[in-house]
A and B are shown apart, each in its own frame.
Chain A
Amino acid sequence: MGRSSMQDLLIRIDLSNRKASPWRVPEELKAYLGGMGYGTKILLDEVPPQAHPLCPENKLILTVGPLTGTTAPMNPQSCIVTKSPLTETILNSYAGGFLGAEIRFAGLDGLILEGAAPQWSLLLIEDGQVHFHSAEAVLGKSTAETERYLKERFGADVRTLSIGKAGEKGVAMASVFSETRTFGRGGAGAVLGSKRVKAIAVRGTRGVEVARPEEFNAAVRENMEQLKAACAEEYNLVGMFSRVGTGAGMGLVNGRGALATRNHISGSFDESPGIDGYAYADKFYTRAIACYGCPVHCGMLHKFTRTDGSSSWLRGPEYETMYSLGSDLLNGDPVVLAEANQICEEYGMDTLTTGVSVAWALEMGEEGKLKEPGLELEFGSPAAILGLLRKIGEREGIGDLLARGPKQAAAASGCDLGRFMQIKNSGFAAWMPRRMKGTGLAFATSNRGACHKRAPIGAEITGQIDMDAYEGKAALVKEIQDRVNAIFTLVSCRFHEFVTPPDMYPRLVTAATGREISLHEFLAVGERIWNLERLFNIAVGFGRADDQLPERCYEPIQGEASEGAVMERRKYDDMLEEYYRLRGWDEQGIPTEGKLQELGIPEYARLGTR
């Protein structure tokens, strides 16, 4: 074996027995490249689809990829794969920052957490050695307090992940925090909590080499020039992110009538200029913060004065949060929005599903169908918004209802699920299917539910293609889902691909690992993973009936710019059927044996048989 950025080594951490053992990557896994590919294949091979997500039988796999820790720009992320307690589907969730690089510097391609610890634990991973410590001192502490404790105890140079109270208490949308970057979606924080792992600290001191340095360095230089050029352009989205963060595009979205407002009743929000990226940059001290090796630095650190007069800071809010804790709640106050974001950080909760749950509760409250003592449930009310968020984190009163996830909350309260903006129980990201038909199909067919990371958002919102059209969207969605899955094996940032030409990926991967891969083969890995995820979900019990949008999407949007825009049910069904055909699935959305044969995974066909 020659040099490679990949270490071909993961650590299995048996929490039940407090034992860690190195696990050499088997040859057949290497074809999955790393990151999401490794996580997905391992979960399919080792976790029964019927396993309860919060039982020891479930596993949590944290991986990095062939570009992690190298000089290739915009590959800072690490990937968690597990069975989601929110959706009960297979979940992949990502965080940027520095944790991924540190895992690589520790000489690893990832960790596999198995079983459940007998007591609340902290894990310290130093250059591949695992140490178990008690988490007693940080139980009930916020993610930031926990991070501070880890750095004081284990050294300022460790990189960390942690859960807050929400993860400890099994809130279905609990997330995992890593130094203000977040594994947001799908409730991975609750899985970590069920394993009684409060936090992990990693320190890596080893070097990272690549197989073909000259080739690799030349590709990196070229990619850096592409990214720098994009950042210098006034109207390039990545350039705008680089200047004011991901909230740069809110004005554009609002102008197109696609800014989900008031629990998706309306597509425009008059107060959006007060909460977008430019507003934050204008009103508050702002400093750009990058993830490892990233020239775009879209993370914005803001200092602000809280409503109680105290001084505080937040890295964010991100665009998606400006919607979920802003426009969707009729909250046009940037300070209340920042505080709402902070509460989600403190407790460790996904701002998306949590915000969407608050939006639904506010609508139900205004109609008198939901009540909470001491809180007037009204859109735009700071007390209601901040109060509900804390109650979800604490699992108190109505918060306990919402903490169980949309379907259970609706069933237990007898309120309308059709107005809960969720798919497969995962709250909507910031986009409106009625206005963006391809994005709607992408949300509905997502293996993790309502996922914006594999949707034709850029093309639809910028008008590159007709956002309201149905034609051609099925093919577009399939292509994006497969391509993004492929880049999530690396693990590249989603925004990297906005600028980087597709053939850059196989070039970088080949030079980093010494294993030749063509663009065609690279994209095929993405499609193979998509089908494996789908098979897992089918075996859980998911199918065509779950690839549907909530009722509200079939009712017209209100408000300027997109008044009357609607998803037509028959046309949606046609789009879905075309999508299944293009995927090589049957009309129930089950991958055919022929397709699995073609993808080289016929042995998984058993998962698709009912």
Chain B
Amino acid sequence: MPLGFDIDENLCTECLRCLAACSLTKLGRVQLPLARIAVKRQWPELPEIQVCRFDDCKDQPCIDACPVEAISRDEKGLVLIDRDACTGCRACVEACPYGAIWMEENGSDFAYKCDFCGGEPACVQECVTGALVQKGGS
């Protein structure tokens, strides 16, 4: 089964529990700007949920955009950034059609994105309306 998210923005209430859960899982604290998922408010229109689509992303342009081959897709379908190899050039941020790759702006300048929490995304557990549902993984 392909890996990714079933996303229905009609169901998103913009509560941001997904962002809170993501940052709590990754950083041990709630810090929304550093979450690997974002919900762009566009009232009164539907929000845009910005997160890596994995196998639903056609061509996965971030992989080709990276000049140092720091981004790769593994056998499970996880698209991951190798922090050690990342030079902080931002090419992947520009290439991502979903606006789902960001830069750490604390001097280290690494790119970061969703890693599907290795197979069980924390954000999905928090979504009570089903706007964000897991596909594949374990």
CA gap between A303 and B28 in the complex, in Å: 39
CA gap between A294 and B15 in the complex, in Å: 6
Residues of the B chain whose Cβ atoms lie less than 8 Å from the Cβ of A206: 31
Choose one: A208, A231, A289, A297; the contact of B30 (CB below 8 Å): A208
Residues of the A chain whose Cβ atoms lie less than 8 Å from the Cβ of B33: 157, 205
CA gap between A288 and B44 in the complex, in Å: 11
CA gap between A413 and B41 in the complex, in Å: 47
Looking at the assembled complex, report how far the CB atom of A253 sits from the nearest CB atom of chain B, in whole angstroms: 26
B24 at interface, CB cutoff 8 A: yes
A70 at interface, CB cutoff 8 A: yes
Q: Is the CB of B28 within 8 A of A297?
A: no
Q: Is the CB of B29 within 8 A of A295?
A: no
Looking at the assembled complex, report how far the CB atom of B109 sits from the nearest CB atom of chain A, in whole angstroms: 16
Q: Is the CB of B16 within 8 A of A213?
A: no
Q: Which of A170-229 contact B (CB under 8 A)?
A: 205-209, 213, 217, 228
Looking at the assembled complex, report how far the CB atom of B9 sits from the nearest CB atom of chain A, in whole angstroms: 10
CA gap between A213 and B17 in the complex, in Å: 17
B86 at interface, CB cutoff 8 A: no
Residues of the A chain whose Cβ atoms lie less than 8 Å from the Cβ of B129: 288, 297
Q: Which of A94-145 contact B (CB under 8 A)?
A: 98, 105
The answer to whether A291 and B15 touch (CB under 8 A), given A70-B30, A207-B31, is yes
CA gap between A98 and B15 in the complex, in Å: 9
A85 at interface, CB cutoff 8 A: no
CA gap between A401 and B108 in the complex, in Å: 62
Most chain A CB within 10 A, of B28, B32, B33, B46, is at B32
Q: Is the CB of A208 within 8 A of B44?
A: no
Q: Is the CB of B17 within 8 A of A297?
A: no
Residues of the B chain whose Cβ atoms lie less than 8 Å from the Cβ of A289: 13-14
What 0/1 pattern do residues 1 to 42 of B give for CB contact below 8 A with A?
000000000100111110011011001111111100000010
Residues of the A chain whose Cβ atoms lie less than 8 Å from the Cβ of B46: 287
The size bracket of the interface on B is 20 to 34
Looking at the assembled complex, report how far the CB atom of A162 sits from the nearest CB atom of chain B, in whole angstroms: 15
The answer to whether A71 and B16 touch (CB under 8 A), given A105-B32, A205-B33, is no
Residues of the A chain whose Cβ atoms lie less than 8 Å from the Cβ of B43: 301, 313
A293 at interface, CB cutoff 8 A: yes
The answer to whether A213 and B28 touch (CB under 8 A), given A71-B20, A290-B14, A293-B15, is yes
Q: Give the number of A-B contacts (CB < 8 Å).
A: 61
Residue of B nearest to A314 (CB): B44
Residue of B nearest to A147 (CB): B43
What 0/1 pattern do residues 59 to 102 of B give for CB contact below 8 A with A?
00000000000000000000000000000000000000000000
Residue of A nearest to B24 (CB): A71
B117 at interface, CB cutoff 8 A: no
CA gap between A288 and B15 in the complex, in Å: 10
Q: Is the CB of B13 within 8 A of A208?
A: no
CA gap between A206 and B32 in the complex, in Å: 8
Looking at the assembled complex, report how far the CB atom of A339 sits from the nearest CB atom of chain B, in whole angstroms: 16
Choose one: B13, B17, B41, B44; the contact of A71 (CB below 8 Å): B17
Q: Is the CB of A313 within 8 A of B44?
A: yes
A506 at interface, CB cutoff 8 A: no
The answer to whether A297 and B13 touch (CB under 8 A), given A70-B30, A205-B31, is yes
A316 at interface, CB cutoff 8 A: no
Q: Is the CB of B21 within 8 A of A207?
A: no
Q: Could you list some 14 contacts between A and B, CB below 8 A?
A: A71-B20, A71-B24, A207-B23, A207-B27, A287-B10, A289-B14, A290-B15, A292-B15, A294-B13, A295-B15, A295-B128, A303-B44, A313-B43, A313-B44
Residues of B within 8 A of A (CB): 10, 13-17, 20-21, 23-24, 27-34, 41, 43-44, 46, 128-129
